[in-house]
Structure 1
Amino acid sequence: MALKASPEEQARLLDLQALDTKLQQLDHRAKNLPEVTQLVSLAADAERLRLQRARETGTVEDARTELKRVESDVAVIEARIARDDARLQASSSVKDVAGLEHELSGLRRRHDELEEIELVVMEKLETLENGVRLTTAEQAQAIEAMTATTAARDASLTSIAEERTVNSANRQAIAGAVAPELVALYERQRARYGLGASHLRGGVSSASGVKLLENEMAIIRSAAPDEVLICPDSQAILVRTSESGLHAGAAADSR
């Protein structure tokens, strides 16, 4: 036996379908928020900068170790120069004086070389430390952006959840005003075909966007207003209203 429902009750299915479509859109929005994509990119940047900073910090430590080694070598040479100077001043031996002067000459050359090396290492260290400061600032900016984007994402999700709660309540109210067997058919068709109800407007099924054939329209025109019809294209429940393009008297009452 064909399912029967008043035109008004059938028309409520369009409101139910509109709410289900809205709920699907809200779920899609929640899964595809731009903030989610932004957070993935920001997290990748923050991790890249963290690794970069770790490498740069290691290089800085190596440079500091190198500088300490050069400074230690300079201190050793300066101590030897001071010792030989003192010995030179105290020596009266021509042979010893000549030997000390020769050694001092070599020590002073080495001292000059080490000071040049020390200067180069100090300049390198300064450049490396500046690099670490810049990377640290960039990393902080990335983390700050992640924090702000996370807050924006959470605010969007909260807004969507609130909107979903309202629409779900409205859906429950509408579904409660429709006969259970009609709702069951609607749910079954929606689960199978994606849409549960389709508005026939000007001979076109809203669910499929297809204009029905004349023989199909003839069957629809001959159906009683309370007969529940299935759209031949979308397989959704076909809801008829005054906009359906049916002859007077054959269509369901307007919503």
Structure 2
Amino acid sequence: MKAAPEAQRRLLDLQAIDTSLAQLAHRRKSLPELAEIDKISRELSAMEDERVRAQVAVDDLDRDIARFEKDIEQVRTRKDRDKARLEAGGALREIEGLQHELATLDRRQSELEDAELELMEQREGAEQTLNEVKKRLAEAGERRRTAEAGRDEAYADIAKEQEFKTQSRAPLASDLPPDLLALYDKIRTDSGLGAALVRSGRCGGCRIELYGADLARVKSAPADEVVRCEECRRIMVRTAESGL
């Protein structure tokens, strides 16, 4: 393929822009905020599981306390009924039976209230655990929102740079011979680098020094000949820095 030396040199300017665009794309994918967001999201998922378990513990205790409260209320109702019957008087045997039942109900109420008090103490600890988990969830959520804001800001900055580079690339690419541009784009798509400067007898693409027949081939090639590296197959752009 033939192309004017100046057109070949402009490939280096195009490659510089394409390299910058590739770096911006890589930067967009590897922002530290992305890793931070992913880490926090995993933390939030684990903490949410922890919150659910803590909430279930509180709910179970609430249900047990409610059951004890219901039992205590039933005992109180039975006691009130027995006391009313006792105050109304009656046969001695009936009165003794009521007194015995009241004593039994007093013991039952005391046992139930003690058990309920123990559950309420457990609930206080369970609720404290739940509140601590909720606090950590809120703090992690705030950290994620901060990281997301940093990510979005970085995305906006990268997008501006990409737009500027893309706009700079368009006229440069349109000014190149179509066949040269097509070759460059194909090589760049395959390897990430389409053209490289030969500097001091060394290919700028693979960094391998030219020697022997390969060096002679490049030296003897006409200035308008598009020369490619035998190793990396990239277009080798020759200038006064090439040392040929």
Q: Does the CA-based 8 Å contact 2:17-2:165 persist in structure 1?
A: yes
Residue matched to 1:127: 125
State the distance in 1 between where 2:143 and 2:77 align: 54
Bigger helix share: 2
State the distance in 1 between where 2:182 and 2:90 align: 120
Runs of 4+ off more than 6 Å: none
State the distance in 2 between where 1:148 and 1:20 align: 32
Q: Structure 1 60/17 Cα, relative in aligned 2: closer, same or farther at 3 Å?
A: same
1:61 aligns with one of 36, 40, 59: 59
Residue matched to 1:3: 2
> Normalising by structure 2, what TM-score?
0.88
Q: Does the CA-based 8 Å contact 1:193-1:235 persist in structure 2?
A: no
1:165 aligns with one of 149, 163, 166: 163
Q: Does the CA-based 8 Å contact 1:198-1:231 persist in structure 2?
A: no
Q: Does the CA-based 8 Å contact 1:5-1:182 persist in structure 2?
A: no
Q: Structure 1 225/64 Cα, relative in aligned 2: closer, same or farther at 3 Å?
A: same
Matched residue SS, 1:199: strand
Q: Does the CA-based 8 Å contact 1:50-1:139 persist in structure 2?
A: yes
State the distance in 2 between where 1:215 and 1:104 align: 115
Matched residue SS, 2:240: coil
Task: Give 1:94 shift.
Answer: 4.6
2:151 aligned with 1:153? yes
Q: Does the CA-based 8 Å contact 2:197-2:238 persist in structure 1?
A: yes
Superposition pairs for residues 158-197 of structure 1, below 5 Å? 158-197=156-195
Letter of the 1:171 counterpart: R
Q: RMSD of the alignment, in Å?
A: 2.3
Residue matched to 2:212: 214
> Normalising by structure 1, what TM-score?
0.84
Q: Using the aligned pairs only, state the percent identity.
A: 37
Task: Give 1:36 shift.
Answer: 2.4
Letter of the 1:3 counterpart: K
Q: Does the CA-based 8 Å contact 2:228-2:234 persist in structure 1?
A: yes
Structure 2's unaligned 5+ residue stretches are none
Task: Give 1:227 shift.
Answer: 2.4
State the distance in 1 between where 2:90 and 2:192 align: 110
Q: How many residue pairs are counted as aligned between the two chains?
A: 244
Q: Does the CA-based 8 Å contact 2:40-2:144 persist in structure 1?
A: yes
Residue matched to 2:203: 205
